[in-house]
Amino acid sequence: MSTLDMPARNGFSLLKRAALALALLTPATAWAAESTAVTSPRVVATLLSSRDAVAPGERFHLALAHKITAGWHTYWRNPGDSGEPTKIDWQLPEGATAGPIQWPAPKAIAFEPLVNFGFDGTVLLPVEISVPAEAKPGERFAITAKATWLVCEKICIPEEGVLSLDLPIAAEPVIDSAAQARIARTLAGLPQEAPFRAKLTANGPDKMTLAIPELPAGISELRYFPLSDTLIEHAAAQQVEGGTLTLARSSAFRIAEPSVEGVITYSQGGTKRALSLSADVAPDLLAQASAPPAPPPVVTLPTLPAPPAEDLTIWVALAFAFAGGLILNLMPCVLPVLFIKALGFAQAAQASRSEVRVHGLLFLAGVVGTFMVLAGLAIALGAGWGFQLQSPPLVILLAVLMSLIGFNLLGAFEIGGKVQGLGDGLASRGGPVGAFMTGALAVVVATPCTAPFMGAAMGYALTQPPAAALSIFLALALGFALPVVALSFAPGLQRLLPKPGPWMVVLKQGFAFPMFATAIWLVWVATMQTGANGALAALIAILVAGFAVWLLGVTRRRGAALRVVAAGLAALFVTTTAAFVIESAVPPKQAPASAGASDVWSPERVAELQAQGKPVFVNFTAAWCITCLANERVALSRQDVKDAFAALGVTYLKADWTNRNAAIAAALAEHGRAGVPLYLVYPGSKGAQAEVLPQLLTVDIIVRAAERAAGREVQTARNP
Amino acid sequence: MKAVTRQTFIAGLAVTAFSLASGAALAQGPAKPGSPAPAFSIVDVDGRTQKLSDYAGKTVILEWTNHDCPYVRKHYNSATMQTLQKDMAKEGIVWLSVISSPAGEQGHVDAAKAKELTKSRDAAPATILLDPKSVMARAYGAQTTPHMYIIDPKGTLAYAGAIDDKPSASASSLAGARSYVRQAVAEMKAGKPVSEPATKAYGCAVKYAPVS
| Domain map (residue ranges) of chain A | 14-186, 198-290, 314-584, 599-710
pLDDT band at A157 (very low <50, low <70, confident <90, very high): confident
State residue B21's pLDDT score. Answer: 34
| Residues in chain B within 8 Å Cβ distance of A683 | 170-172, 175
Instruction: From A579, A605, A589, select the one nearest A680 (Cα to Cα).
Output: A605
More reliable by pLDDT, A647 or A696? A647
> Among A29-33, A78-82, A618-622, A639-643, whose mean pLDDT is lowest?
A29-33
pLDDT at residue A204 greater than cutoff 90: no
Nearest CA in chain B to A684: B172
State residue A12's pLDDT score. Answer: 41
Summary count for chain B: helices (H), strands (E):
6, 9
Which domains can be identified in chain B, with CATH numbers? 25-205 (3.40.30.10)
pLDDT digits (tens, 9 = 90+) for A466-487: 788 788 888 888 988 888 888 8
| Residues in chain A within 8 Å Cβ distance of B91 | 301, 304
List the single best residue of B5, B7, B32, B157 to mutate versus A (max A Cβ within 10 A). Answer: B32
> Among A551-560, A561-570, A622-631, whose mean pLDDT is lowest?
A622-631
Q: What is the mean pLDDT of residues A491-505?
A: 70
- How many CB atoms neighbour CB A694 within 10 A? 12
More reliable by pLDDT, A706 or A344? A706
pLDDT digits (tens, 9 = 90+) for B39-64: 999 999 999 999 999 998 999 999 99
Q: What is the mean pLDDT of residues B3-29?
A: 41
pLDDT digits (tens, 9 = 90+) for A133-150: 999 999 999 999 999 999
CA atoms within 13 A on the CB side of A688: 30
Q: Do A113 and B200 touch (CB under 8 A)?
A: no
| Residues in chain A within 8 Å Cβ distance of B138 | 113
| Residues in chain A within 8 Å Cβ distance of B192 | 298
CATH H superfamily, domain A14-186: Thiol:disulfide interchange protein DsbD, N-terminal domain (2.60.40.1250)
Q: Which B residues in the span 22-41 are in contact with A, Cβ-Cβ below 8 Å?
A: 29-35
| Residues in chain B within 8 Å Cβ distance of A229 | 200
pLDDT at residue A290 greater than cutoff 80: no
Of B144, B156, B200, the CB nearest to A296: B156
Query: Shortest Cα distance from A619 to chain B (angstroms)?
Result: 19
pLDDT at residue B20 greater than cutoff 70: no
State residue A387's pLDDT score. Answer: 64
pLDDT band at A398 (very low <50, low <70, confident <90, very high): confident
pLDDT band at A494 (very low <50, low <70, confident <90, very high): low
Query: Shortest Cα distance from A119 to chain B (angstroms)?
Result: 16
Q: Do B189 and A709 touch (CB under 8 A)?
A: no
Q: What is the mean pLDDT of residues A626-650?
A: 83
Which residues pair with residue A167 across a beta bridge?
A: A141
Q: Which B residues in the span 134-193 are in contact with A, Cβ-Cβ below 8 Å?
A: 138, 141, 143-144, 152-154, 156-158, 160-161, 167-173, 175-176, 185, 188-189, 191-193
pLDDT band at A252 (very low <50, low <70, confident <90, very high): confident
pLDDT at residue A497 greater than cutoff 70: no
- How many CB atoms neighbour CB A642 within 10 A? 13
Q: What is the mean pLDDT of residues A569-573?
A: 87
pLDDT digits (tens, 9 = 90+) for B131-149: 999 999 999 999 999 999 9
Q: Do B194 and A84 touch (CB under 8 A)?
A: no
Q: What is the mean pLDDT of residues B196-203?
A: 93
More reliable by pLDDT, A341 or A282? A282
SS3 B159: strand
In whole angstroms, give the CA distance from residue B85 to residue B91. Answer: 10
pLDDT at residue A287 greater than cutoff 60: yes
Q: Say whether A599-710 and A14-186 share the same fold.
A: no
More reliable by pLDDT, A124 or A396? A124
DSSP A62-73: EEEEEEEPTT-B
pLDDT at residue A113 greater than cutoff 70: yes
Query: Shortest Cα distance from B112 to chain A (angstroms)?
Result: 19
DSSP A545-572: HHHHHHHHHHTTTS-HHHHHHHHHHHHH
pTM: 0.51
| Residues in chain A within 8 Å Cβ distance of B8 | none
pLDDT at residue B19 greater than cutoff 60: no
State residue A312's pLDDT score. Answer: 60
State residue A450's pLDDT score. Answer: 59
CATH number of A198-290: 2.60.40
| Residues in chain A within 8 Å Cβ distance of B167 | 84
State residue A426's pLDDT score. Answer: 41
pLDDT at residue A90 greater than cutoff 90: yes
Query: Shortest Cα distance from B118 to chain A (angstroms)?
Result: 17
pLDDT digits (tens, 9 = 90+) for A509-529: 888 888 888 888 888 888 877
When the pLDDT of each residue in chain B is averaged and rounded to a whole number, the result is 85
Q: Do A711 and B169 touch (CB under 8 A)?
A: yes
- How many CB atoms neighbour CB A311 within 10 A? 9
State residue A451's pLDDT score. Answer: 55
Cα separation values, B103 from B69, B109, B136, Å: 16, 8, 16
State residue A537's pLDDT score. Answer: 87
Pick the CATH number of A599-710 from 3.90.1510.10, 3.50.50.60, 3.40.30.10, 3.40.50.2300: 3.40.30.10
> Among A238-242, A557-561, B72-76, whose mean pLDDT is lowest?
A557-561
pLDDT digits (tens, 9 = 90+) for A294-327: 444 344 333 333 333 335 677 888 888 888 888 8
Q: Do B205 and A156 touch (CB under 8 A)?
A: yes
| Residues in chain B within 8 Å Cβ distance of A156 | 69-71, 169, 204-205
Q: What is the mean pLDDT of residues A591-603?
A: 60
Q: What is the mean pLDDT of residues B178-200?
A: 93
Nearest CA in chain A to B162: A252
- How many CB atoms neighbour CB B5 within 10 A? 10
State residue A381's pLDDT score. Answer: 64
Nearest CA in chain A to B185: A301
Please tell me the total number of residues recorded for chain B in this structure: 212
State residue A188's pLDDT score. Answer: 93
